[in-house]
C-alpha cells in the first residue's frame, strides 16, 4: 500500500486520495434525492427511475470510497482512532444500510414513494455529515492563530500537524507534546525530525514522515517559526547538576561479572545487549564502540554513559539513588565487553 503512495508522490500527487472519489457517492445521493423529489411531487416516472439508478451507482461507489478512505487513514493518521474517524465509519455504515433499504423498499416502483424519498433525504444528511467530519479531520484541528507574518506556517500546521497535535499537544501520545519539544531547538533538528520521526527506542512510531514533496525545507522553516511563536520554543534541557567523576577503567572478570548482574537487575527490562534494536530504550550492543550515543548524539564515552545514568537524556529513569559510582564503573566494565 505504501508503494502506491510513493508512486503518487513520484508523479507529484501528494494529497490524500480519498477526497476526490467522495464526490461520486455524494453527487449521486444528491441526484437521487432531487430526482426522487421531482418524481414524488410531479408523479414523474422517469425521474423516479433515474433516482433509483443514481442510488444503485451510489451504493456501488461506497465500496471504493471506503477502501481509499481506509488507506488514507492508515497512511496519514497511522490508523489512529480519532473521533471524526469513528463518526465517519458509523456514518458510512448508516449510508450503506440506507442505500440497501431504499433499493429493497423501492423495487418495482416506477415512481418514488414518500417512504423512499424520506430515505433519500436521510442519505443526503448522512453524506453531508460524512463531508463535514472529513473536513473536520483535515482542517479543523485546534490551530491557534498567529500574527499575520506566520500565516503560511499556520496553514501548514493546519494541513499537516493539527489533527494529531491540537494546540501543540499530542492526542496519540500525550507525553510526547509538540509544545516545548527538544526537536524544536533549531531548524536542522526540526527538519531531521519531521523527515524521520522516531520513538524513544529508535523504532518508527505513529507519526508519519513528512518528505520534501509534502513539506519542503523552506516550508519547514515557516512551520517552525509559527510553532515556536505560538506554542513556545524548545524547553532547554536541564543542566546536569552531578559532577561526573574520572571513570575508573575496569577489565577484571570479577568487575565484569558484577556489572552483568547489575545490568540484569536494573537495565534488562528496557535494553538488550544482544543487538541494537530497541525495546523501551535503544539496544546497547557495542555501545562503547560506537561514535555517538543513539539519543544524546554526544560521543559514546564512559563519561557520557555515566551521565546518562545520573541525568538521563529524556524518558529513562535516573539511577542517581539506585547505583553508586562504584557500581556504575562495574556496569561500564560489562558494557565494554558487549
Ligand atoms: C498521525 C498523527 C501525527 C501527525 C499528523 C503529526 N504528528 Fe508529530 N507526533 C505524533 C506522535 C504519535 C508523536 C510521538 C512520537 C512518535 O510516535 O513518533 C509525535 C511527536 C512529535 C514531535 C516530538 C515531540 C517530543 O516528544 O519531543 C514533534 C516535534 C512533532 N511530532 C511535530 C510534528 C509536526 C511539525 C507535524 C506536522 C508537520 C506533525 N508532528 C504531525 C503524531 C503525529
Ligand atoms: C524504564 C526503562 C529504562 C531502564 C530501566 C533503563 N533505560 Fe536506558 N534508556 C531508556 C530510554 C527510553 C532511553 C532513550 C533516551 C532517554 O529517553 O533518556 C535510554 C537510553 C540509554 C542509553 C543511551 C543514551 C543516549 O544518549 O543515547 C544508555 C547508554 C542507557 N540507556 C543505559 C542504561 C543502563 C546502563 C541502564 C541500567 C542501569 C538503563 N539504561 C536502564 C530506558 C531505560
pLDDT single digits (tens) 218-255: 999 999 999 998 888 887 666 777 788 888 888 999 99
- Band the pLDDT of 92: cuts 50, 70, 90: very high
Residues 173-190, buried b or exposed e (16+ Cβ, 10 A)?
eeebebbebebbbeeeeb
pLDDT digits (tens, 9 = 90+) for 44-57: 999 999 999 999 99
The least confident of 131-145, 163-177, 279-293 is 131-145
Distance 326 CA to ligand 1 centre (A): 39
pLDDT tier, 141 (very low <50, low <70, confident <90, very high otherwise): low
Confidence at residue 30, expressed as pLDDT on a 0 to 100 scale: 97
Residue nearest to atom 8 of ligand 1 (CA): 207
DSSP summary character for residue 241? -
Dist. CA 56 → ligand 1 center (Å):
42
Q: Which residues line ligand 2 (CB under 6 A)?
A: 200, 266-267, 269-271, 280-282, 284, 287, 293-296, 305, 308-309, 312-317, 319, 331
Domains in the chain, ordered, with CATH?
2-139 (no CATH), 148-231 (1.10.760.10), 253-336 (2.60.40.420)
Residue having the nearest C-alpha atom to atom 6 of ligand 2 = 267
Predicted local confidence at residue 225, as pLDDT: 94
Q: Is the pLDDT of residue 210 over 80?
A: yes
Output the pLDDT for position 331.
94
Which residue from 316, 318, 330 has its CB within 8 A of the most atoms of ligand 2, so it is best to mutate?
Answer: 316
Nearest ligand by distance to the CA of 199: 1
Q: Which CB contacts under 8 angstroms, 24+ apart, belong to 114-119?
A: 114/40, 116/36, 117/33, 117/36, 117/37, 117/39, 117/40
Tell which wins on pLDDT, 76 or 329: 329
Amino acid at each position: 500500500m505504501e508503494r502506491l503512495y510513493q508512486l503518487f508522490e513520484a508523479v507529484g500527487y501528494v494529497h490524500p486520495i480519498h477526497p476526490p472519489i467522495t464526490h461520486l457517492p455524494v453527487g449521486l445521493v444528491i441526484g437521487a434525492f432531487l430526482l426522487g423529489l421531482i418524481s414524488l411531487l410531479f408523479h414523474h416516472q422517469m425521474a423516479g427511475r433515474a433516482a433509483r439508478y443514481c442510488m444503485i451507482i451510489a451504493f456501488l461507489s461506497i465500496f471504493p470510497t471506503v477502501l481509499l478512505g481506509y488507506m488514507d487513514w492508515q497512511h496519514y493518521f497511522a490508523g489512529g482512532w480519532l473521533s471524526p474517524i469513528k463518526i465517519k465509519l458509523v456514518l458510512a455504515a448508516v449510508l450503506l444500510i440506507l442505500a440497501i433499504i431504499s433499493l429493497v423498499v423501492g423495487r418495482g416502483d416506477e415512481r418514488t414513494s414518500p417512504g423512499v424519498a424520506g430515505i433519500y433525504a436521510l442519505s443526503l444528511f448522512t453524506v453531508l455529515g460524512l463531508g463535514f467530519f472529513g473536513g473536520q479531520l483535515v482542517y479543523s484541528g485546534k490551530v491557534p492563530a498567529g500574527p499575520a507574518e506566520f500565516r503560511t506556517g499556520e496553514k501548514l500546521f493546519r494541513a499537516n500537524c493539527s489533527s494529531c497535535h491540537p494546540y501543540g499537544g499530542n492526542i496519540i501520545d500525550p507525553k510526547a507534546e509538540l509544545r516545548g519539544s527538544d526537536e524544536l531547538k533549531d531548524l536542522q533538528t526540526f527538519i531531521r525530525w519531521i523527515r524521520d520521526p522516531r520513538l524513544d527506542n529508535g523504532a518508527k512510531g505513529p507519526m508519519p514522515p513528512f518528505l520534501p514533496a509534502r513539506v519542503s525545507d523552506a516550508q519547514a522553516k515557516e512551520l517552525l517559526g509559527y510553532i515556536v511563536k505560538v506554542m513556545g520554543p524548545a524547553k532547554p534541557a536541564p543542566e546536569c547538576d552531578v559532577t561526573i567523576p574520572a571513570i575508573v577503567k575496569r577489565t577484571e572478570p570479577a568487575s565484569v561479572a558484577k556489572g552483568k548482574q547489575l545490568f540484569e537487575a536494573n537495565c534488562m527490562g528496557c535494553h538488550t545487549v544482544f543487538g541494537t534494536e530497541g525495546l523501551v530504550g535503544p539496544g546497547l550492543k557495542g555501545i562503547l564502540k560506537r561514535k555517538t550515543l543513539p539519543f544524546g548524539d554526544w560521543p559514546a564515552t564512559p563519561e557520557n554513559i555515566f551521565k546518562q545514568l545520573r541525568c538521563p537524556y529524556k524518558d529513562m529513569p535516573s539511577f542517581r539513588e539506585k547505583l553508586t559510582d562504584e557500581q556504575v564503573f562495574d556496569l561500564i566494565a560489562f558494557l565494554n565487553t558487549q
